[in-house]
Amino acid sequence: METIRLTMAQALVKWLTAQRTVVDGHEVSIFAGAFGIFGHGNVTALAEALQPVQDELPTWRGHNEQSMALAAVAFGKAMRGKRIMIATSSIGPGSTNMVTAAAVAHANRLPVLLLSGDTFQHRIVDPVLQQVENFGDPTVTVCDTFKPVTRYWDRITRPEQLVQSLPQALATMLDPATRGPAFLALPQDIQAEAYDYPAKFFDLKFHYIRRPGPDQRDIDAAAAALSTADKPMIIAGGGVHYSDAIERLTHFAEARGIPVVETVAGKSTLVHDHPNYAGPIGVTGSTAANAVAEDADLVLAVGTRLQDFTTGSWAVFKNPKVKFVAINTASWDAHKQQAIPIVGDAKVSLDALDTAIGDYSAPEAWLQFAQAQIAQWHDYLDSWKHKPPQGKPAYAEIIQAVNDLCDDGDYCLSAAGGLPGELTMGWRSKSVASFDSEYGYSTMGYEIAGAWGAKMARGDGDVIAWVGDGSYLMMNSDIYSTVMTGHKVIFMIMDNGGFAVINRLQVNTGGEEFNNLLRTARHESYFHVDFVKHAESMGALVEKVEKLADLPDAWRRAKAADRSYAIVMDVDEYTWTEGGTWWEVGIPEVSDREQVRVARAEWEAEKKHQRVGI
């Protein structure tokens, strides 16, 4: 058997560069590159292996391990899981900084490969710099903290273990049923150790994402339920995008006269003016979609994990006869709420279901009802455009203005705080697959880093990253990254003086304003951060827009700019888009505040609508 003598790190990199796929008819490496911050644990061996292969596997220097790994996650999302980015760190804090990003990928079912340095396997020099010792188990290191938030975890304790571990890690990331983050702990002594690897291990290999078909018995059961429905609705989740099932789902809905609502992850499955589009559903949803959900007698959930923001904590479906059919590659998700499960790829499963239901279509009046509801919702969104200037603008006013100004091919991105709700409700998709709001884990700091990764994945059209002042202060260094690497992003920096949406939740549940808005936090000196100067210092072009009337000219300058451009605006902290539905949070059963007692009574009244899985 022909062998090649390589260090473990060299073999790892050589194998990564040999994995191929086809995207849009073009052969490409399945691993598009690596984000890296080097330190002891990955600089002497792994960096030495990465440096010679920059044309095949480029390494992008990060500035924070969490943010670079978030950029890798956002890249995987923008590529719909077809290509994967790597993030590598040293041991200790560099490693644990990536745990949050792993959780983001896990919650959102997105692929990313995380490579962390680890302590010496021989343990002679323990404790090494940055090592956290476990008194009861010396085999445990901080790398073990990734176990709950990864789909595949391994520690490479012998160089030859790569031959088994790497194919399994990639298979996990590509399988729609298990897709998520993979993590490899790489002890620094083992990285440098050599082994005679089989030459065939490094042969070029092509991979594809499988489309598992459903069981016909599940299809028959779902078809029987759907065929008797008078008020069916489709919930389009993120899995519709990852399956490339948008066109199939659209045709299915059109042929059957079924209204389609979208989750946060499923947004931009349909364009905003499609006749079957009934809006975003749930807590950050529209009155239109929620009205449809309240009356629906059958819910066809496609590619969604049915998070509480989608289901209104399972209180939005008020028809006592409602039934659920769930199409999902993950059996775990397909069986929620005692749904009729269809475990399979969305595209293949919709094909099978379409055949099984024959000439069924929903009563025409049902789709007309949904159309009337969404028309009212669009009228409401339009009303924000005609409000007379009065102090600081609301999120909704700015969003409607930018929505009108943006090009069809632009990609809208956000994450935590008030913006995901405002954008999910107010952003009207002009093209399919053009929206990313990281709300599976709702991660502050994803916005700027994620925009960097998304721009790497999307060559055409601008990436518009919406970021609040709270998230900006938490993680902002990748504005510099976008300028440094030539990946232009338009940043909409919205300053409402703190964590305003959590302040809203605090007040709406009877609490007193406390510690969320900056002026209500403990302080000796209260002042506004100069975001213009700060973003400028990282190389971006920046301007502050004081009035909505000045936004179109600023937008044109941002579009024409040759590098990342930031528009800073002050936003009213108390004015919000009103839609949505009930959301269960823990309101105190006992309180000295009357406002809390009233909120608790309202909570108890709404909780009566909550389904309990039957």
Looking at residue 150, which CATH number applies to its domain?
3.40.50.970
Looking at residue 243, which CATH number applies to its domain?
3.40.50.1220
Tell me, yes or no, whether 417 and 348 share the same domain.
no
Tell me, yes or no, whether 263 and 334 share the same domain.
yes
Tell me, yes or no, whether 421 and 365 share the same domain.
no
* Residue 390: predicted pLDDT: 87
**Boundary-marking domain end, from 206, 230, 258:** 206
**614 domain-assigned:** no
Tell me, yes or no, whether 356 and 481 share the same domain.
no
Tell me, yes or no, whether 348 and 439 share the same domain.
no
Tell me how far apart the alpha carbons of residues 430 and 589 are, in angstroms, rounded to a whole number. 45
CB 474 within 8 A of CB 499: no
Tell me, yes or no, whether 264 and 335 share the same domain.
yes
* Residue 614: predicted pLDDT: 56
**499 domain-assigned:** yes
Query: Closest Cα to residue 452, out of 478, 475, 471, 434?
Result: 478
Taking CA atoms, 71 is separated from 85, 277, 457, 481, 520, in Å, by 9, 31, 10, 10, 33
CB 292 within 8 A of CB 266: no
This prediction has a pTM of: 0.97
* Residue 561: predicted pLDDT: 98
Look at residue 1 and give its three-state secondary structure: coil
Tell me how far apart the alpha carbons of residues 468 and 334 are, in angstroms, rounded to a whole number. 35
Tell me how far apart the alpha carbons of residues 235 and 531 are, in angstroms, rounded to a whole number. 39
Residue owning tokens 């990536």: 98
Taking CA atoms, 497 is separated from 320, 493, 506, 521, 567, in Å, by 43, 12, 16, 11, 16
Which pLDDT band holds residue 389 (cuts at 50, 70, 90)? confident
* Residue 527: predicted pLDDT: 86
Tell me, yes or no, whether 442 and 519 share the same domain.
yes
**Boundary-marking domain end, from 349, 376, 403:** 376
Tell me how far apart the alpha carbons of residues 12 and 337 are, in angstroms, rounded to a whole number. 43
Which residues touch 156 (CB under 8 Å, ≥6 apart)? 8, 162, 165, 184, 185, 186, 187, 190
Domain that holds residue 152: 3-206
Residue owning tokens 């939740």: 505
Q: Over 70: is that where the pLDDT of 10 sits?
A: yes
Residue owning tokens 């059963």: 589
Tell me how far apart the alpha carbons of residues 214 and 350 are, in angstroms, rounded to a whole number. 10
| Mean pLDDT, all residues of the chain | 97
Tell me, yes or no, whether 313 and 341 share the same domain.
yes
pLDDT in tens, 335-347: 998 999 999 999 9
**360 domain-assigned:** yes
**230 domain-assigned:** yes
Query: Closest Cα to residue 233, out of 284, 287, 279?
Result: 279
**138 domain-assigned:** yes
**116 domain-assigned:** yes
Look at residue 514 and give its three-state secondary structure: coil
Asked if the bond preceding 127 is cis, omega within 30° of 0, the reply is: yes
Please give the DSSP secondary-structure letter assigned to residue 6.
E
* Residue 298: predicted pLDDT: 98
**88 domain-assigned:** yes
Look at residue 102 and give its three-state secondary structure: helix
* Residue 138: predicted pLDDT: 94
pLDDT in tens, 399-449: 999 999 999 999 999 999 999 999 999 999 999 999 999 999 999 999 999
Tell me, yes or no, whether 394 and 361 share the same domain.
no
Percent of the chain whose pLDDT exceeds 90: 97
Q: In total, how many domains does the chain have?
A: 3
Tell me, yes or no, whether 175 and 241 share the same domain.
no
When pLDDT is averaged across residues 1-29 and rounded to a whole number, the result is 97
When pLDDT is averaged across residues 55-81 and rounded to a whole number, the result is 97
Tell me, yes or no, whether 504 and 426 share the same domain.
yes
pLDDT in tens, 520-532: 999 999 888 999 9
Tell me, yes or no, whether 325 and 351 share the same domain.
yes
Tell me how far apart the alpha carbons of residues 596 and 582 are, in angstroms, rounded to a whole number. 16
**Boundary-marking domain end, from 376, 395, 410:** 376
Look at residue 465 and give its three-state secondary structure: strand
**241 domain-assigned:** yes
Percent of the chain whose pLDDT exceeds 70: 100
Q: How many Cβ atoms sit within 10 Å of the Cβ of residue 220?
A: 14
Taking CA atoms, 121 is separated from 43, 50, 124, 274, in Å, by 17, 22, 8, 58
pLDDT in tens, 285-344: 999 999 999 999 999 999 999 999 999 999 999 999 999 999 999 999 999 989 999 999
